[in-house]
A and B are shown apart, each in its own frame.
Chain A
Amino acid sequence: AQSVAQPEDQVNVAEGNPLTVKCTYSVSGNPYLFWYVQYPNRGLQFLLKYITGDNLVKGSYGFEAEFNKSQTSFHLKKPSALVSDSALYFCAVTGGYQKVTFGIGTKLQVIP
């Protein structure tokens, strides 16, 4: 069965500093990986995806993610955090024809 692990419940980072939100996955076959962001009382918004190709994927709002096949990881990164980036971040995976599995989420708090 496929699974996603987000090992940190919360990540705190100072405004202007780089941020990383961690994600590891387990799936049969080639993974399709996604990051979503959720603001309070809202649905999830798509940030970026990895299907194939370059291991560094760029997405919305200056976010990027690095796919590492050997470590089965797909960490979300941003060079310089903004207070407005504070939200709940979800990593998701599918093996293609299987349902999408979401992690439990990581709360990002950017401190002014």
Chain B
Amino acid sequence: EAEVAQSPRYKITEKSQAVAFWCDPISGHATLYWYRQILGQGPELLVQFQDESVVDDSQLPKDRFSAERLKGVDSTLKIQPAELGDSAMYLCASSFRGNNSPLHFGNGTRLTVT
């Protein structure tokens, strides 16, 4: 079964440093999501793409976070500068056709900011 690929699996960085995460969705999935999951909580949407266009980034802290999906396939999420409160699991997901379709998640990147 096709999977959503994410890298790295784990990342430790010092505060004020830059960090980047990569995601490759399931082939043919037009919608791509980045979620942040803090321990003990449900996933919180950071940004949603439809093909290469952002359709929802209302919860993305735009002063430090950026996301792109230049060719409408894979995507990168960047944090610069990282803060202690950014420590969390960052999950990428894709779906065939928007929010009515099941989301397929990658295994996430566990970020620790020291």
A residues contacting B by CB (< 8 A) are 4, 32, 34, 36, 41-46, 49, 51, 90, 92, 94, 96-100, 102-105
B98 and chain A: residue at smallest CB distance: A97
**Is there a chain A Cβ closer than 8 Å to B75's Cβ?**
no
The answer on a CB contact under 8 Å between A98 and B107 is no
Bound-state CA distance A49–B101 (Å) is: 9
CB-based contact B41/A32 at 8 Å: no
Q: Which residues of A contact B100 (CB under 8 A)?
A: 32, 51, 94, 96
Q: Assuming A99-B45, A105-B41, is B93 touching A34 (CB within 8 A)? A: no
Residue ID in chain A nearest B6 by CB atoms: A43
A49-B102 contact, Cβ under 8 Å, with A42-B107, A42-B108, A43-B108 = yes
Check if B56 is an interface residue, CB within 8 A of chain A.
yes
State the Cβ distance, A108 to closest chain B Cβ, in Å.
Answer: 15
Q: Secondary structure of the B side of the interface?
A: mixed
Residues of A within 8 A of B42 (CB): 4, 90, 92, 102-105
Contact with A along B56-87 (1 / 0, CB 8 A): 10000000000000000000000000000000
17 pairs of residues in contact across A and B, judged by CB atoms under 8 Å: A32-B99, A34-B103, A41-B108, A41-B110, A42-B107, A43-B4, A44-B93, A46-B103, A49-B102, A90-B42, A92-B42, A94-B99, A94-B100, A99-B56, A100-B45, A102-B42, A105-B42
The size class of the interface chain B forms with chain A is 20 to 34
- B93: chain A residues within 8 A (beta carbon): 43-44
Tell me the smallest distance from the CB of A2 to a CB of chain B, in Å: 11
Which residues of chain B are near A4, meaning CB under 8 Å? 42
A42 to B107, CA, bound (A): 5
CA distance A46 to B48 in the complex (A): 18
In the complex, residue of chain A having the shortest beta-carbon distance to the beta carbon of B43: A102
The answer to whether B105 and A100 touch across the interface, beta carbons within 8 angstroms, is: no
Q: Indicate if the CB atoms of A44 and B91 lie closer than 8 Å.
A: yes
Shortest Cβ distance from residue B1 to the other chain A in the assembled complex, whole angstroms: 11
Q: How far is the CA of A96 from the CA of B106 in the complex (A)?
A: 23
